[in-house]
Amino acid sequence: MQSRFRAGSGITAMRARTSGPFPGAGFRWRFSLAPFAGAVAAAGHAPFDLWPLALLALTGLAWIVASAEGGRSKAVAAWLGGVGYFAVSLFWIVEPFYVDSDRPGWMAPFAIIFVATGFALFWALAGWLSGRTGGGAIGWALSLSLAEVLRGKLLTGFPWVLPGYIWTETPAIMGASVVGPYGLTTLTLVLSALPVATSRKVIATMLALLGVAVLVAGGRVAQAPSDSHVGVIRVVQPNAPQHEKWDPEKASVFLRRQLLSTAAPGNDVALVIWPESALPYRLDQAGPILERMANASGGAPVVFGVDRVDGRRRFNSMVQIGADGRVTDIYDKVHLVPFGEYVPLGGLAERVGIRGVAARDGHGYSAGSEVALIETPLGRALPMICYETIFPRHVRRAGERADYLLQITNDAWFGAFSGPFQHLQQARFRAVEQGLPLVRSANTGVSAVIGPDGRILDSLPLGESGFVDVPLPAPRPATIYARTGDLPVVLLLLMGLAAVFSVSRAIPLSSLAESRNGV
């Protein structure tokens, strides 16, 4: 009885030492490394694209989280890692606030703090869940994968810088055609966690390296180029800096650039694309300009971005005009940017100085009602305006398969360091996921034509004006991901977490039985 009492006292004392968010002084130095590991993992994204370094950093973070004891400790470690990850990868979020610094510039420091700490809460949830499942490093990888799905879908969603996007510059991007971005994120996190998942480090590391090799080799085979094309498309980039774009004295200069690029001799150009907000006028005021655009194009339809109004509602729209300058198609942006293109309770927020960064008034834009395909000379195009490209599910909202994806955007809001390149990174994933070419016209860049295998066929660099004429590739057959979406991956994640939970609960019981038999 005496020995039993001492053992119980020891357990009570141990629980007292581990009851706080940190499990003891021996682990605190590991927690201090968590933000650093998250920050280094962010180097896997554009403009660095250092995916091997990102994998190593994710392995380090898996070790830190797995070595913490208890759900609260794991949540703290994961949250710190997430803060480092999002602070570095999403630092460009401050750029829009300095376009018009007299208005929202004071909000910039709060924006990056809010974004980094707020999105890191999803990682904290994953850390806590991994503690509840008791699955160690693999439980952490599966929990974080599920948390990233939630981040991409809850509260309108923001699936920017998913861990799976580190493969953009490698053939492994083709994995998205099978399992989508969330499935590739899951594979990435599981492979990075393998080296710390068991005591057999060498074997586990070799398995992880083999998995990476299979992803890359399989993607290289799937990236076989196609020589089939449907016609030539011209992509125009005016390079209008955001702080000058609406200046009455400068607006005519940018408009002239687009007209000259449209009128330049071409190689039987079938369609011309201008970027988002290409006109300095509302659609109802642009009649004479539309005629000039049609004359410049030599009869080829022109697709462009413009504001339009319907009663008291304002829309961010994509419009196509025919050879006579008349409007043939209109698409109103469906997925607006919260606190960018609209502000909840906008009228009230405007009174205290809070306005949408890209909105013209406190109320901002109205959302369109549906995603419908646009008929063009090169086939049916699925329209995407700027921010909509970051959502894999946007493509499925049309209800039918397109021949190609068409994005117009104004990335001048995103600065010149990482934002525009990360946006392009996600556009390449959309092309791979659907097996469709993607045409992208950006105000300041990067404008590009992307093949259905995610490779850039031609592009205009950031900060330059001009145009490119590119033969548009034919679409590939519908991919596995295009037919199934994210549901299979989500179900497999839930089943995997349930299996990890069951195994983690079964092993201690069997170990206890063996120890009793030994006694």
Q: Which residues are catalytic?
A: 276, 333, 386
Judge contact between 378 and 301, C-beta under 8 A.
Answer: no
Nearest to 388 by CA among 351, 430, 353: 430
Within 10 Å of residue 330's Cβ, how many Cβ atoms?
A: 17
List, in order, residues 6 or more apart from 242 with CB less than 8 Å away.
99, 410, 412, 413, 444
Q: Which residue has the tokens 């834009």?
A: 365
Please give the backbone phi and psi of residue 441, each rounded to the nearest 5 degrees, phi first: -110, 120
Burial grade of 475 (CB within 10 A; 0-12, 13-18, 19 or more): buried
502 touches 133 (CB < 8 A): no
Nearest partner of 64 among 3, 125, 127, judged by Cα: 127
Q: Are 53 and 43 in contact (CB under 8 A)?
A: yes
Q: Which residue has 């209109």 as its token pair?
A: 330
Q: Cα 498 to the chain's mean position, in Å?
A: 28
Among 469, 470, 400, 455, CA closest to 424: 455
Question: What is the tally of helices (H) and strands (E) in the chain?
Answer: 15, 12
The strand ranges marked E within 259-352 are 269-273, 302-310, 313-321, 327-332
Are the C-beta atoms of residues 140 and 130 closer than 8 Å to each other? yes
CB 441 within 8 A of CB 418: no
Question: CA gyration radius for the chain?
Answer: 26
Cis peptide before 446 (omega within 30 of 0): yes
Closest CA to 339 of 307, 365, 376, 316: 365
3-state helix, strand, coil in the chain (%, to 5): 55, 15, 30
Q: What span, in angstroms and rounded, lies between the C-alpha atoms of 175 and 454?
A: 11
Q: Please give the torsion angle defined by the CA atoms of residues 213, 142, 163 and 71, in that order, rounded to the nearest 10 degrees.
A: -130
| Interstrand relation of 302-310 and 313-321 (parallel, antiparallel or unpaired) | antiparallel
Give the type of residue at 218: G
On the CB side of 379, CA atoms within 13 Å amount to 21
- Contact call for residues 355 and 104 (beta carbons, < 8 A): yes
Give the containing element (helix H, strand E) for 458: strand 456-460
